[in-house]
Amino acid sequence: MTTPDMRSPSALLAHMRHTLDFYAPRGIDPSGGCFHFFKDDGQVYDQRTRHLVSSTRFVFNHALAWRWFGEPIEPVAHALAFVREAHAQPQGGYAWQIDWHEGRATLMDGTQHCYGLAFVLLAHAHAAEAGVPGAGEGVADTFALMERRFWQPADGLYADEASPDWQLSPYRGQNANMHACEAMLAAHASTGEWRYLDRALMLADAITRRQAEKAGGLIWEHYHADWTPDWDYNRHDRTNIFRPWGFQTGHLTEWAKLLLQLERRMGHAAPAWLCPTAQSLFDAAMRHGWDAQHGGLVYGFAPDGTVCDGDKYFWVQAESLAAAAWLAVRTGESAYWAWYDRLWAYAWAHFVDHAHGAWYRILSPANQKITDEKSPAGKTDYHTMGACQDVLSALGVLPGRATPHSTP
């Protein structure tokens, strides 16, 4: 199967459109929000369960459709209203999971997650950019809530989890802080307020340098309350998709991308360590994560460098190709374009559903489909369409422009 020239803005936009068409219009629930569970052919197999991560990511998806394809803001507002109304809890914060039936929400899991709030912030930022009323105020309010409930000044990082009445768990994790960094970049893009870049830099420095020093220069996922690595957390549990054991190949590359986005956004004020750190993380991910036999990047590897989860996940490939493009543009090194092309060729052959649209979620180490559930809660193809948008941004392409500022 021939892969299109995915360095071409028109090819990236066409792929974004093809993926969006999988979810629209079937994904919108007129009674509130969006459906979260889709089979390969687009059939909705659970109309009631709603997860905060999907609810917020659908705001992002609709904002992307507004930004690049001129679609109306009403779907963005519809998705954001569901987050603000159906997920909102009387004691503050947002429900992790609810049952939505006949226009009413029943609480299923009221645990408060900083990871979830990071996506609430991201959703408000993208909705604000689209002009949804009240979204700008939501950016400030969500940031204030994260500061009040999860920020740990002595650590320079956010705590991870709290009970419904805001009692903090001792668990600490890098994933919530990584997505908080992403959300801060989006908040700055929508508001222009420098405080969000200050916080993004603080998070990036703490995780990719200070914490990485405790793990051989890489980024461990799980920590004790004092931010010492918890090397055994979820070691024998592969079911927790938000807290997997091992070094996560996709998180190394996702951080590489975020560091370069932060560097560009900060301009002359950016510290010199951002790009070299991004290169180091990406290079390590390719060195340990690329499957030389079957192609693609594995999910995770152990501290000794051996593969601990050889399954292939859609988001790992998507984040990695976006990071490769940013590194290629930033450094001018052809090796990163080679990785970009290699990752796209692999994804195009194995992950992209050319018949129905969107990407398959997970494949076996030998690239066989494991499930016919293309998009369960949490997916929404936010990673895949976001990666296309990130590559366009790396190339200097703005919405409404047919050509990039510079060609690779």
Q: Which are the contacts of 276, defined by CB distance < 8 A and separation ≥ 6? A: none
Q: Are 354 and 333 in contact (CB under 8 A)?
A: no
Percent of the chain with pLDDT over 70: 98
Residue pLDDT, tens place only, 293-314:
999 999 999 999 999 999 999 9
Residue 218 lies in a domain: yes
105/262 Cα distance (integer angstroms): 38
Distance of CA 252 to the CA centre of its chain: 13
| pTM, rounded to two decimals | 0.97
- HEC sequence for the chain: CCCCCCCCHHHHHHHHHHHHHHHCCCCECCCCCECCEEECCCCEEECCEEEHHHHHHHHHHHHHHHHHHCCCCHHHHHHHHHHHHCCECCCCCECCEEEEECCEEEEEECCEEHHHHHHHHHHHHHHHHHCCCCHHHHHHHHHHHHHHHCEECCCCEECCEECCCCCECCCEEHHHHHHHHHHHHHHHHHHCCHHHHHHHHHHHHHHHHHHHHHHCCCCCCEECCCCCECCCCCCCCCCCCCCCCCEEHHHHHHHHHHHHHHHHHHHHHCCCCHHHHHHHHHHHHHHHHECCCCCCECCEECCCCCEEECCEEHHHHHHHHHHHHHHHHHHCCHHHHHHHHHHHHHHHHHCECCCCCCECCEECCCCCECCCEEECCCCCCHHHHHHHHHHHHHCCCCCCCCCCCCCC
Please, which pLDDT band fits residue 46 given cuts at 50, 70 and 90? very high
Is 399 inside any structural domain? no
The answer to whether position 2 is within a domain reads: no
Q: Is the pLDDT of residue 49 over 60?
A: yes
CATH number at residue 217: 1.50.10.10
In angstroms, the CA 348 to CA 11 distance is: 12
pLDDT computed for residue 364 by the predictor: 98
Say yes or no to pLDDT of 1 above 60: yes
Q: What is the mean pLDDT of residues 46-60?
A: 98
The total number of structural domains that make up the chain: 1
251 in catalytic set: yes
Once rounded to an integer, what is the mean pLDDT over residues 189-204?
A: 98
Six token digits for residue 47: 């109309």
Phi-psi region of 156 (alpha: psi -120 to 50; beta: other; left: phi over 0): left
Query: Is residue 406 domain-resident?
Result: no
Question: Is 316 within 8 Å of 249 (Cβ atoms)?
Answer: yes
Alpha-carbon span 183 to 381, nearest angstrom = 17
pLDDT at 237: 86
Q: pLDDT band for 242, please (50, 70, 90 cuts).
A: confident
**Token code pair at residue 80:** 């954001």
Give the pLDDT score at 101: 97
Least confident of 138-142, 226-230, 333-337, 397-401: 397-401
Q: What percent of the chain has pLDDT over 90?
A: 96
CA angle 6/8/9 to nearest 5° reads 110
Could you tell me if 219 and 247 are in contact, meaning their C-beta atoms sit under 8 angstroms apart?
Answer: yes
The pLDDT tens digits for 334-386 are: 999 999 999 999 999 999 999 999 999 999 999 999 999 999 999 999 999 99
On average, the pLDDT of the chain sits at 96
| CB contact at 8 A, 255 and 219 | yes
Catalytic residue among 188, 222, 251, 288: 251
Is the residue at 402 inside a domain? Answer: no
What residues make up the domain containing 382? 9-394
**Is position 246 within any domain?**
yes
* Bond prior to 4 in cis (omega within 30° of 0): no
pLDDT tops 60 at residue 406: no
The reported pLDDT for the residue numbered 401 is 53
**If we measure between CA atoms, which residue out of 96, 4, 85, 109 comes closest to residue 51?**
96
Joined tokens for residue 87: 């997920």
Catalytic residue status for 188: no
Asked if the structure places residue 31 within a domain, the reply is yes
What tokens appear for 180 in the block? Answer: 């908080």
Say if 3 falls within a structural domain: no
Please tell me the distance from the alpha carbon of residue 305 to that of residue 287, in angstroms, as a whole number: 9
Contact 119, 182 (CB under 8 A): no
